[in-house]
Amino acid sequence: MNTYLDCIPCFFSQALFAARQAGCDEEQQKKVLDGISRLIPLLSMNASPPENAVPIYRIINEISGSADPFSGIKKQSNSAAISVYPDLLKRAETAKDPLLTAVEIAISGNIIDYGANRDIDLAAEMESILDQEEKAVHRESRELFNIESLRSALAEGKELLYIGDNAGEIVFDKILVATISRLYPEIRTRYAVRGRPIINDVTMEDARATGMDRLCEVVSSGSPAPGAVPKFLSPEFRELLKSADIIISKGQGNYEALSGSGLPVFFLLRVKCDIIARHIPADRGDFCLIRESSLSG
């Protein structure tokens, strides 16, 4: 997916928020914005937004002196999600359709995104998620939420590569990974994290903190971007992409990076911006489970 003009104001907004999270004073914040202003003319509009985010966050890291400005937010998100994990896991285990419920929970967890949505009251959202996952998905069309296609792929597949998105959200991914492992024990599952910290994206540290590494094999994509941008992936991860029968891609960043790739990808996300809504196409707020081959954007 290409970068659109509407993405540029979002880059500035995210950068200012990240600079403040890193503890930058106003002079440093101005330096961050000045640096990005000089960078914008050099960005390729044919590159995906996650690819263009890499030099933007490099500027933030250099000026702030912080390699992980969102470290505190990520720990808070993981802790909040872990607190509701037992109830959500039980809900999936006892559901009439465990796979459907686990997918709903995983997508509902995509609310935890300080890149696209920084104004959420995390505690309140965690309280309401039990109700959200029962209601939101059922209004979607088959084109936007094709659970049967995923069910068929899992019934036939042997190698699943699950590409994670954000900290906190990884706890909800655990429920889907656990459910798939129980329903389809022949499938080998790997969970992919970013190559290094960027925004609040999931890293190996988050996988260990939330216990994902005790549930399945956790691998690094090698990507320093907020998405599995093909040009940044490690050679080892490229091989995993080629060998996977099924790829589950969580969140907008991975959608932006992998849509149009031709890989056997199922995109699981909540639509949080108008650009993504037009690209799919869908409405802002929609919960989506889309197979790559069904995309028209």
Question: Taking the domains of the chain in order of start, what are their residue ranges?
Answer: 7-64, 71-294
Q: What is the pLDDT of residues 220-264, one digit of tens each?
A: 999 999 999 999 999 999 999 999 999 999 999 999 999 988 898
pLDDT at 106: 92
pLDDT at 231: 94
Reported as a pLDDT band with limits 50, 70 and 90, residue 116 is very low
CATH superfamily of 71-294: Uncharacterised protein PF01937, DUF89, domain 3 (3.40.50.10880)
Residues 54, 58: Cα–Cα separation, whole Å:
6
Q: What angle do CA 91, 206, 223 make, to 5 degrees?
A: 115
pLDDT at 286: 85
Least confident of 2-6, 147-151, 289-293: 289-293
Question: Exposure string (b/e) for 262-275, b if CB count within 10 Å is 16 or more?
Answer: ebbbbbbbbbbbeb
Q: What is the pLDDT of residues 158-188, one digit of tens each?
A: 999 999 999 999 999 999 999 999 999 999 9
